[in-house]
Amino acid sequence: MYGQYSKSRSTSRWASFEPQGGAVSEAWVDGTVNNDRIAEALEAHDWNRPEAKDGLPLADMVYRLFDPQYIKSFAQFATTRKPVNDPRRLAETLDPAGYLNLEFIHNNIHIWTGGLDRAMGHMNEVPVAGFDPIFYMHHCNIDRQFAIWQALNEHNPDNWFDDLERPYDDDGTWSIVKGDRVSPKTPLAPFHKNDQARCFDSDDIRKWMSLGYTYPELQPWLDKYKTGGKFDEDKYVDDIKQQLAKLYKPVPAGLTEESMNADIIVNVTYDR
């Protein structure tokens, strides 16, 4: 399948991929972008299950990422990977309410942007997703959401890279040897931090503001976060939560915020 992308002259999103006499369609070769279909997919909330038409809204799922009653640990927030093999310890490492994570949301947006069923787009496939400029907007937003979660967890500095107790990437990558354990010191190749060919690692970029940038919700130097001329972390965290609620917390028609407090979660854990 990946070989077909070498025939593309432009980016496609939700492009019809119909062979014509053994060749891919001209629309595919020239690139077709159907943003209306992306909007429909984002509204459908099928969440990797095309048969499900009643999934929770995207904004609501994002809002739950930042609610500590659902997600408490780094591993739960960051990855879809099950932390341990030993079922006796599963209860210790997985909160029963932690039924979603940032990677799950990230993956679905790739699919909704690329295309489903008989439609294909670059965002759907890992080796070619970066050829679509929207890839960078999507990943900048994922980085932003990750930074917000870090800011909300500053009171717990050890909430970082939980031990997954087995090699994170069993198959390895072009820069990670098969069977190696990924840690916060694993080089993030090919992103070099000096002229001695040393690469950044996750610890290097944990404090994103040290790299000279931040996000609209994360500006701790603003006067509104000061008490007696000094930075007040409680004010900062409370304001971040208010901004998240304004951006992401939907209140469905006929319901009030109070009535939404009753929330039932069914969480099934399985080894893929």
pLDDT in tens, the chain (272 residues): 566 788 888 999 998 766 555 567 787 888 899 999 999 888 887 776 555 555 678 888 899 889 877 787 888 888 887 655 545 445 545 555 566 789 999 999 999 999 987 788 999 998 899 999 999 999 999 999 999 999 998 777 788 887 655 555 567 777 888 777 788 999 999 999 999 999 999 999 999 999 999 999 999 999 999 999 999 999 999 999 999 999 998 666 555 555 555 566 666 666 65
8 A C-beta contact, residue 32 and residue 14: yes
What's residue 190's pLDDT? 92
What's the rounded Cα separation, in Å, for the pair 263 and 252?
14
What pTM, to 2 d.p., does this model score? 0.84
8 A C-beta contact, residue 188 and residue 174: no
Contacting residues for 59 by C-beta, under 8 A, at least 6 apart: 247, 248, 249, 250
| Count of CB atoms situated within 10 Å of the CB of 73 | 17
What's the rounded Cα separation, in Å, for the pair 230 and 123?
45
What's residue 3's pLDDT? 65
Domain 2-160+232-254 has CATH 2.120.10.30: no
